[in-house]
Amino acid sequence: MKRLFVSLDKATIFRMLFCVILMSIGSIGCNKTDHIFLIGNTDASRYSSDVIDKWITMQIRLERDATGIPNVAFVRYYAYSGIAALEALAPGKSLDKSFNMKWNGLTDLPQPENFKRYYWPASVNTALASMNRNIFTHANAVDSAAIDSLENALNTSFLTAENKEVIERSNSFGKDVAAAVFSWSETDGYKNSSAAYTPPVGEGLWVPTPPAYAPASTPYWGNNRPIVAGSIDNTQPGPPIPYSEDPQSPFYQMVKQVYDVSLTLTPDQTAWALFWRDIPGVTIGGHWVSILQQVLKQTNSHLDKAAFAYALTGVCLNDASISCWQTKYKYNQVRPITYIRAVMGYSTWNSLLTTPAHPEYSSAHAVVSSAISEGFAEVFGDIGSFTDHTYDYEGFAPRTFSSFRAIGEDAGNSRLYAGIHYQPSIDTGLIQGRKVAANIFRELTSGSTDGKSNW
């Protein structure tokens, strides 16, 4: 034995001793809380976020092509897909414990094999392919083939960096993670969100709005299980301004503001409203995921941070929407178009954008956008100026912002110019969303040493 060590250089001896030490703690295993490195595992931060980028593009495409799905329902897809991506590389996330990733009710996630090598981009690739197949079960043949094609193309490209055995093992792990996350997602209550509903009747209460006069959309969405336990605690605002038809009342003046603005819309205000109308099939969730995609590129974020930011974007979308829908169907406030036509007497008035089929208060665009913008600020910090190019392909001029919070406020305030929300509904929604985001980060950093994200 003595001769053996004499023949080895110091670096080799160190590696051998290090392996012995790791083997001695191998019985500890690898759990989702500690993310202990096992022999063969590599840090997920060494990889680019290219696989996340490509699947975001795919998911936006699938959402755009989907039919018969309520707009708010898309927020779940981003949330659970992001969590699957993050958990598919969680064992490769360093020993950093800034985030405890406590997902409400998600237990018994699969774990990688001890002392086996994994290639985390491949795990993420198959996890996201599996999630999208499970989610978009009614995708057309072209889109279904595109999911397969993207997964296969990425796996083939990975073979230039890793051998086939490692890629297949990583694919299997990602698929198992996706199966667990999807199974958990199916129990969040969304299947009951569109159950039969009879809206209350009375002065100042919501009624179906023109032109479709559609029934109330997803009236029980507020009963869904939040993804982060405690995320919506103490986020409910007080009641809206009391209803009145007196022209001198605060309520009448609030509605009159919407009407007056509609008569004097400038080209810039019209473009502002149209930019945030979020083209049918993309929705506010798709717009924010597009913004995430651009931020990831601007910040040159690596795979682990990209996966966390993707999951966080979805969680903020999902949990903020639950808080918002609780408010909407608690107060059932009348929409501007109903009041302007029936009370103010402008019977042919129309808003710039079509009014969504759910109550007025609070503004969903404001709630979810402020929650996500606060989340971005926490994860990415101050990245300076940001220009949103989401709708360049539609010929819209990009919009430039000085901060993430400014993006959220821009999205919320656009709804006044769209003619579909009162300003107090927007202002309340911005505050509500920030409270949701604060709760999410409080819960996700509750086990860290300093209570901060520390990316």
Q: Write out pLDDT tens, residues 72-95.
A: 999 999 999 999 999 999 888 753
pLDDT, residue 92, reads: 84
Q: Write out pLDDT tens, residues 111-128.
A: 999 989 999 999 999 999
Q: Which residue has the higher pLDDT, 43 or 324?
A: 324
Cα–Cα distance, 437 to 376 (Å, whole number): 10
Kindly tell me if the per-residue pLDDT of 30 is higher than 80: no
3-state secondary structure 68-131: CCCHHHHHHHHHHHHHHHHHHHHHHCCCCCCCCCCCCCCCCCCCCCCCCCCCHHHHHHHHHHHH
* Residue 282, both tokens: 């993309």
Read off the pLDDT band of 273 (50, 70, 90).
Answer: very high
Kindly tell me if the per-residue pLDDT of 10 is higher than 80: no
pLDDT, residue 67, reads: 86
pLDDT, residue 280, reads: 53
Q: Residue 48 has what DSSP assignment?
A: B
Cα–Cα distance, 75 to 284 (Å, whole number): 9
Kindly tell me if the per-residue pLDDT of 448 is higher than 90: no
What share of the chain in percent tops pLDDT 70?
87
Q: Write out pLDDT tens, residues 208-259.
A: 999 999 999 999 999 999 999 999 999 999 999 999 999 999 999 999 999 9
Q: Which residue pairs from 18-25 have beta carbons closer than 8 angstroms and sit at least 24 positions apart in sequence? A: 23/115
User: Are 454 and 304 spatial neighbours (Cβ–Cβ below 8 Å)?
Assistant: no
Read off the pLDDT band of 12 (50, 70, 90).
Answer: very low
Paired residues of 48 in beta bridges: 302
Contacts of 238 (CB under 8 A, 6+ apart): none
pLDDT, residue 55, reads: 98
Question: How many Cβ atoms are within 10 Å of 260's Cβ, its own excluded?
Answer: 10
Kindly tell me if the per-residue pLDDT of 18 is higher than 60: no
Mean pLDDT on 87-107: 78
Cα–Cα distance, 13 to 226 (Å, whole number): 51
Where is average pLDDT lowest: 38-42, 183-187, 289-293?
38-42
Q: Write out pLDDT tens, residues 45-75.
A: 999 999 999 999 999 999 989 988 888 999 9
Kindly tell me if the per-residue pLDDT of 36 is higher than 50: no
φ, ψ for residue 382 (rounded to 5)? Answer: -90, 110
Mean pLDDT on 425-436: 98
Read off the pLDDT band of 268 (50, 70, 90).
Answer: very high
Q: Write out pLDDT tens, residues 353-365.
A: 999 999 999 999 9
Which among 362, 356, 357, 346 is positioned nearest to 259, based on CA atoms?
346
Render the burial of 315-340: b for 16+ CB within 10 Å, e for the rest: bbbbbbbbbbbbbbbebbbbbbbbbb
pLDDT, residue 69, reads: 87
Q: What are the residue ranges of helices labelled H in 264-351? A: 267-275, 283-298, 303-331, 336-342
Kindly tell me if the per-residue pLDDT of 336 is higher than 60: yes
Kindly tell me if the per-residue pLDDT of 430 is higher than 70: yes
Q: Write out pLDDT tens, residues 280-331.
A: 556 889 999 999 999 999 999 999 999 999 999 999 999 999 999 999 999 9
Regarding the domain delimited by 196-444, which CATH topology (the fold level of the hierarchy) does it fall under? Vanadium-containing Chloroperoxidase; domain 2 (1.10.606)
Mean pLDDT on 130-140: 96
Q: Which residue has the higher pLDDT, 378 or 12?
A: 378
Paired residues of 388 in beta bridges: 399
pLDDT, residue 19, reads: 45
Kindly report the average pLDDT of the chain as a whole number.
Answer: 89
Read off the pLDDT band of 205 (50, 70, 90).
Answer: very high
Q: Residue 2 has what DSSP assignment?
A: H
H or E segment to which residue 386 belongs: strand 386-388
Q: Residue 279 has what DSSP assignment?
A: T
**Residue 147 amino acid letter:** I
Mean pLDDT on 400-416: 98
Cα–Cα distance, 93 to 103 (Å, whole number): 17
Mean pLDDT on 149-177: 97
pLDDT, residue 454, reads: 53
Kindly tell me if the per-residue pLDDT of 333 is higher than 60: yes
Read off the pLDDT band of 158 (50, 70, 90).
Answer: very high
Cα–Cα distance, 50 to 42 (Å, whole number): 17
